[in-house]
Structure 1
């Protein structure tokens, strides 16, 4: 992608319009409704104190204790991104969230393909991206981020989860941190706008969870061991198991032990 200077100057800063919602079914659903109603505006961020039907990846729900965590969705103008490069939105969102956490936790934060954020072997944030495409052109993207901040007790189904508070033993002002996360997203989005995709992909891979380590993947009913190598610009996970193989997110499931 080339540099998009006309875009560069006219776009408002991500999070400069920050709308707090007391309770909502899903911030991503709400943001997509604004797009469908032709009310979309780049950088508008919707934050929910309570989410009754939060959405996660693979159609799962996203659980968050009321008022304890960052639950937000941001609308991004992605009209400059070719459909074939849409994984760069995931890269931008994942790097932004990684940047955010490393301000508070200096070691142990990584990006689990395609866009979960982990502290050691524990999930601390999840990202859900939904794109609005017209014809064969990208228009808008909704970047939903759920980041565990002050929650210290999780349901059994989320035994793998952790939070900033559990790691640091401190409590945080969630709204203030949400604005900080928006500023991290702004910085990474500007990199993409400026055509710095090679640098973004390289950084994403440098921060990849379990890179060059043995993991287990499940495809169909088969579980196999392999070594994580890297992720391609189209979002395929490349692993080595005797020979190199690449997998789409829908084709494999990561087995966390």
Structure 2
């Protein structure tokens, strides 16, 4: 069982622990819609039967080894067009948490995957419910590989593989929840431009010439930033184009 996060202000004051579920995001969404839980409610599972990534991608996780959590947020201070800021703050929070456990070579792969070196260590899935011209509820799902040592994908890694030993999963969870809360409160307090700058500095490919692929073929380009709607802004051949998810592919060196 997972205890209440007593050192936090609001994230984790209600914790729903499930040994097994289809998706923590689905459970958290149900809690928000049916039970109208307070902001900061957390759903944690040891095993997900249908863990999801962006656009329906699956998420591989060995039972009991990793963190699979969803947090209910109510960012009514954001406009629907600003909801990508949630991706920004959670990405920064994950990167900060990993650095606190000795992982230095950590980067954000747009829009919301976290990589250690050239391998994926964290996936983020944010699903929001809108009410009129405001965001009513956002469910922030984080899948963080902690102690898993074997993956079917050669492009995946874990904290344990990177640092060379198992970690206290409860401690990782506490630090992660605290960092999400702290950076979320910074966003709420008006630090959006600073946080966006921090996100850009952490991005794979930002300010570099790299190879990419789109439907028209491969090209050399440079990431210039992210639009307000979260689209990737890439300079290629003297022109700037914006790409949505699945419209552009990073080609690793």
Q: Name the TM-score, length of structure 2 as normaliser.
A: 0.91
1:91-134 CA deviation, whole Å, 9 max, x = no partner?
11111111111111352111111111111111110100000112
3-state SS of 2:156 partner:
coil
Shift of 1:248: 2.0
3-state SS of 1:35 partner:
helix
Q: Which residue of 1 aligns with 2:184?
A: 189
Determine the C-alpha separation between the residues in 1 that align with 2:133 and 2:9. 25
Shift of 1:87: 0.8
Determine the C-alpha separation between the residues in 1 that align with 2:20 and 2:180. 24
3-state SS of 1:189 partner:
helix
3-state SS of 2:11 partner:
coil
Q: Which residue of 2 aligns with 1:252?
A: 248
1:5-52 CA deviation, whole Å, 9 max, x = no partner?
xxxxxx952123222210000000111111221433200111111111
Determine the C-alpha separation between the residues in 1 that align with 2:102 and 2:72. 27
**Is the contact made by 1:12 and 1:42 (CA closer than 8 Å) also made in structure 2?**
no
**Which of residues 98, 102, 117 is equivalent to 1:120?**
117
Determine the C-alpha separation between the residues in 2 that align with 1:16 and 1:169. 33
**Is the contact made by 1:149 and 1:172 (CA closer than 8 Å) also made in structure 2?**
yes
Is 1:31 equivalent to 2:28 in the alignment? yes
Gaps of 5+ in 2: 1-7
1:203-243 CA deviation, whole Å, 9 max, x = no partner?
11111112222333332252322122222333121222122
**Which of residues 214, 217, 231 is equivalent to 2:226?**
231
Shift of 1:253: 2.9
Is 1:104 equivalent to 2:97 in the alignment? no
Q: Which residue of 1 aligns with 2:160?
A: 165
**Is the contact made by 1:109 and 1:120 (CA closer than 8 Å) also made in structure 2?**
yes
Which range moved further: 65-74 or 166-175? Answer: 166-175
Is 1:219 equivalent to 2:214 in the alignment? yes
**Is the contact made by 1:15 and 1:183 (CA closer than 8 Å) also made in structure 2?**
no
- Superposed CA RMSD: 1.7
Determine the C-alpha separation between the residues in 2 that align with 1:237 and 1:61. 23
Q: Name the TM-score, length of structure 1 as normaliser.
A: 0.90
Q: Which residue of 2 aligns with 1:86?
A: 83
Which range moved further: 51-60 or 29-38? Answer: 29-38
Bigger relative contact order (CA 8 A; separation at least 6): 1
Which range moved further: 237-246 or 17-26? Answer: 237-246
Determine the C-alpha separation between the residues in 1 that align with 2:199 and 2:26. 27
Determine the C-alpha separation between the residues in 1 that align with 2:62 and 2:247. 31
Runs of 4+ in 1 over 6 A off after TM superposition: none
Determine the C-alpha separation between the residues in 2 that align with 1:35 and 1:17. 12
